[in-house]
């Protein structure tokens, strides 16, 4: 990696399956023919290089699982996560009404996601019945903004409270609960001193936001 690129960020889309071919190329190891990933070594030289149009991922529903990998155990409900689990579970029950199925949401709900530079689409399906239509999770509308396109700003259009702070590498990620009971992720490039419990106001540039109504029709932000 050129010294001038150390510590730089890129908006290029990469996937977990790209890690292995990337490490192999850097180590000079021959790649197996069955690999589906793409080495992102060229991005180390040119972070602004034109790259993938979309990234794909698959993961179980994380809302009612232990660290997304295991079904909830009775012991987990007795930890300090217990009230949060009950709150999230209550929202899902309110959404699903008579369709509520505990076994589905704790064990068999799988998410299939596609991310582009402008949008993220997630389809939730029962992994035991892949031929069935996706699970209908109703909502009144969706506002799509990438975490790095939000900014802390007095008088911002979104007001909320910081519920979690995570510092990864040189960046800071904030999980924010809004007055409308929505959860928003804010990514700040660099270290930030905002603490859990802080009241914050967020704003964004309209050209970076995309809104859709309950019928998934684009509306003007």
pLDDT at 145: 61
Summarize the confidence of residues 132-148 as an average pLDDT: 61
pLDDT at 148: 59
Query: Is the confidence at residue 187, as pLDDT, over 50?
Result: yes
Q: Which residue has the higher pLDDT, 206 or 110?
A: 110
Q: Identify whether the C-beta of residue 171 lies closer than 8 Å to the C-beta of residue 159.
A: no
Beta strand pairing status for 70-71 and 141-145?
A: unpaired
User: Edge-to-edge, what's the strand order for the sheet holding 55-60?
Assistant: 55-60, 109-115, 120-126
The tokens for 200 are 């914050």
- Is pTM beyond 0.75 here? no
* Domains detected in the chain: 3-45 (no CATH), 55-126 (no CATH), 141-219 (2.40.50.140)
Task: Please tell me the distance from the alpha carbon of residue 200 to that of residue 202, in angstroms, as a whole number.
Answer: 7
Q: What is the 3-state secondary structure (H, E, C) of 9-41?
A: CCCCCCCHHHHHHHHHHHHCCCCCCCCCCCCCH
Sorting pLDDT into bands at 50, 70 and 90, what band is 138?
A: low
pLDDT at 42: 93
| Beta carbons within 8 Å of 175's beta carbon, 6+ residues apart | 162, 163, 164, 165, 166, 183, 184, 185
């Amino acid at each position: 990696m050129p010294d001038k690129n150390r510590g730089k960020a890129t908006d290029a889309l990469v996937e977990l399956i790209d890690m292995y071919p990337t490490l192999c190329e850097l180590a000079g190891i021959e790649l197996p023919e069955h690999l589906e990933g793409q080495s992102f070594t060229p991005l180390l030289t040119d972070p602004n290089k034109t790259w993938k149009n979309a990234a794909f991922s698959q993961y179980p529903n994380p809302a009612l699982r232990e660290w997304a990998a295991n079904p909830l155990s009775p012991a987990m409900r007795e930890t300090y996560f217990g009230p949060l689990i009950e709150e999230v579970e209550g929202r899902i029950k309110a959404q699903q009404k008579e369709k509520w199925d505990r076994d589905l949401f704790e064990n068999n709900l799988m998410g299939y996601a596609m991310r582009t530079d402008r949008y993220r689409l997630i389809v939730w399906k029962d992994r035991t019945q892949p031929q069935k239509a996706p699970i209908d999770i109703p909502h009144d509308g969706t506002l799509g903004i990438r975490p790095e396109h939000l900014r802390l700003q007095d008088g911002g259009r979104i007001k909320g409270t910081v519920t979690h702070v995570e510092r990864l590498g040189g960046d800071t990620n904030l999980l924010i609960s809004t007055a409308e009971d929505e959860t928003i992720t804010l990514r700040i490039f660099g270290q930030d001193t905002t603490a859990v419990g802080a009241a914050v106001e967020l704003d964004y540039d309209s050209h970076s936001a995309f809104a859709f109504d309950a019928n998934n029709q684009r509306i003007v932000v």
